[in-house]
A and B are shown apart, each in its own frame.
Chain A
Amino acid sequence: MNINDKCSSPVDENDIGVVFRKTLGHYTVHTHGREIDCTLSSLIHKQLIFPTADPTSLRHTVHAVRELDHVDPVAIGDRVRYVDAGADRGMITEILPRDSKLSRSAPVPGQRVFEQVIVSNAELILPVFSAANPTPKWGLLDRYLVTAEAAGLSTLIVINKLDLAWKNPELDEEIDVYRRIGYAILLVSAMTGEGIEELKAVLQNRLSVFIGKSGVGKTSLLNAIQPGLGLRVKAVSNGEVGKGRHTTTHLEMFQLDFGGALVDTPGMREFGLWDIVSEELADLFPEMAGYVGQCKFGLSCQHDREPGCAIRKAVVGGSISPYRYQSYMRLREEL
């Protein structure tokens, strides 16, 4: 897959490109080998409500203006239609329908919670964690996995800093919990190069995205995959063990030499679930999905204190990890 492949459209393909970088109010659109610095049409920021709900009606008066429920209407990976203003500048006028999107909730202080689309049209999500320094936060991994399941996206769990695994003797046992569920896990080291070739094979010819907290080595992995990029990386803080320094500060998609594209994201400490209701949460845990509706409470079972709940029985019986069940309960409290 090439970024340009995403530009193909039956209608007026000259004015369609893929957003691969964004900084405050500016979007870099890649189209047919060119990079165009675009701004956003103000009409995309809001939705006009007409009395007849038909914008093409003869009586063209605006009834109301509704603000949209997302932080930024354009995400990395979006296919957009733009107006070329010359001198490599333009204005985005339309966002074409997305095949998929990876979103999180973004609470804005003093306002309501908005949707933040991290990346759209991605095919593979790679949650990146480090074997040590910082140690993996499995609760955060469960959030990523639930979000990916809800979006219908494939996942590959990447454990980086394998050279430091001796600092975390419990790691194998913890990884096995996810292996038993059926998640693919790849152990790599950006420092020694171990596992990098396998990672490249997985990334080939598809749009993938690295997500993870600060300091786990997402950008270091990207540098190891494609050494020519020379992206800025920093060591984790010495003062507080396992604290990253938020070296990467913006989202950007990179074209890979061997085919495909990869989105590098800044470290995300918080990852709130978006557009997931508590009733469907158990279905997003693959090992629990088979037990939903199997007790006398049926689909209305909350899997908390109901006597004879099939999911709780499976946890007590050892079929479901108690850590995953605890993650489920914590996430359910949020919804």
Chain B
Amino acid sequence: MKTRPASFGDFQCAHCRGIVSSTHLLSGVNNRNHCPYCLWSCHLDLFAAGDRLSACKAPMKPIGLTMKKGRNKYQHEPRGELMLIHQCVECKSLSINRIAADDDSDRVMTIFQQSISPGDSFHTLCQENGIIILKVEDSEIVRTQLYGRYSEIPALSWR
């Protein structure tokens, strides 16, 4: 059953109480679910991103990072889009969400570092749901995607 996209307005984060703007110009995403400061989200989508069909509406905790594979199937290294993995604190369901342009990169890095410790239960849960959680060996890719390469900064490259 198709539904029209709901109108998404600005909201107050249920976790850190920060005021979040859903303006596309700031975030670069259409369906703003998570807070750019604490990266907590809200369980609003059920079948697809932006469908707003979930009645759970409980807070979702950021638990790790994954990589959405790019369209170039011949590339060797996983250079897709960096995605956040959220877990609902009530129904424990998982969802992956695009990192928005105004998300706190340091906070994303902290979540990645917390998630790479082995033995965490959500690693198994992610595997069961077909989500490949990023590990220690992916640190360089995460750092590059969040902060870029030094060689790509013009002011440093000619020095």
A interface residues with partner B (beta carbon < 8 Å): 138-139, 170, 173-174, 177, 304-305, 311-312, 315-316, 320, 322-323, 325-326, 330
Q: Which chain B residue has the least Cβ–Cβ distance from A315? A: B55
CB distance from A10 to the nearest CB of B (A): 51
Contact B55 A312 (CB under 8 A): yes
18 A-B pairs (CB sep. < 8 Å): A138-B1, A139-B4, A173-B1, A174-B1, A304-B57, A305-B57, A311-B55, A315-B55, A316-B55, A316-B56, A316-B91, A320-B55, A322-B53, A323-B1, A323-B3, A325-B53, A326-B52, A326-B53
B46 lies within 8 A of chain A by Cβ:
yes
Q: Could you list 4 further interchain pairs (A-B, Cβ under 8 angstroms) beyond the known A173-B1, A315-B55, A326-B3?
A: A312-B56, A316-B54, A326-B52, A330-B6
**C-alpha gap A170/B2 in the complex (Å):** 9
Q: Which residues of B contact A315 (CB under 8 A)?
A: 55
CB distance from A242 to the nearest CB of B (A): 13
* Interface residues in B17-74 (C-beta closer than 8 Å to A): 46, 52-57
**C-alpha gap A322/B1 in the complex (Å):** 10
How many of chain B's residues touch chain A, expressed as a range? 10 to 19
Partner of A322, one of B4, B6, B46, B91: B46
Q: Which residues of A contact B4 (CB under 8 A)?
A: 139
**C-alpha gap A174/B2 in the complex (Å):** 10
Q: Which residues of B contact A323 (CB under 8 A)?
A: 1, 3, 53
CB distance from A294 to the nearest CB of B (A): 15
CB distance from B7 to the nearest CB of A (A): 9
B interface residues with partner A (beta carbon < 8 Å): 1, 3-4, 6, 46, 52-57, 91
Q: Is the interface of A mostly helix, strand, loop or mixed?
A: helix
Closest CB pairs A-B (n = 10)? A315-B55, A322-B53, A312-B55, A174-B1, A323-B1, A325-B55, A305-B57, A316-B55, A316-B56, A322-B46
**C-alpha gap A138/B1 in the complex (Å):** 9
**C-alpha gap A315/B53 in the complex (Å):** 10
Q: Which chain A residue has the least Cβ–Cβ distance from B56? A: A316
Contact A322 B57 (CB under 8 A): no
CB distance from B31 to the nearest CB of A (A): 15
**C-alpha gap A312/B43 in the complex (Å):** 12
Q: Which residues of B contact A320 (CB under 8 A)?
A: 55
Q: Which residues of B contact A170 (CB under 8 A)?
A: 1
Q: Which residues of B contact A316 (CB under 8 A)?
A: 54-56, 91
Q: Which residues of A contact B54 (CB under 8 A)?
A: 316, 322
Q: Which residues of A contact B91 (CB under 8 A)?
A: 316
CB distance from B17 to the nearest CB of A (A): 15
**C-alpha gap A139/B56 in the complex (Å):** 21
CB distance from B54 to the nearest CB of A (A): 7
**C-alpha gap A311/B6 in the complex (Å):** 20
Partner of A312, one of B3, B52, B53, B57: B57
Q: Which chain B residue has the least Cβ–Cβ distance from A325? A: B55
CB distance from B89 to the nearest CB of A (A): 12
Q: Which residues of B contact A325 (CB under 8 A)?
A: 53, 55
CB distance from B55 to the nearest CB of A (A): 4
**C-alpha gap A320/B56 in the complex (Å):** 13
Q: Which chain B residue has the least Cβ–Cβ distance from A170? A: B1
Q: Which chain B residue has the least Cβ–Cβ distance from A137? A: B4
Q: Which residues of B contact A305 (CB under 8 A)?
A: 57
Q: Which chain A residue has the least Cβ–Cβ distance from B4? A: A139
Q: Which chain B residue has the least Cβ–Cβ distance from A304? A: B57
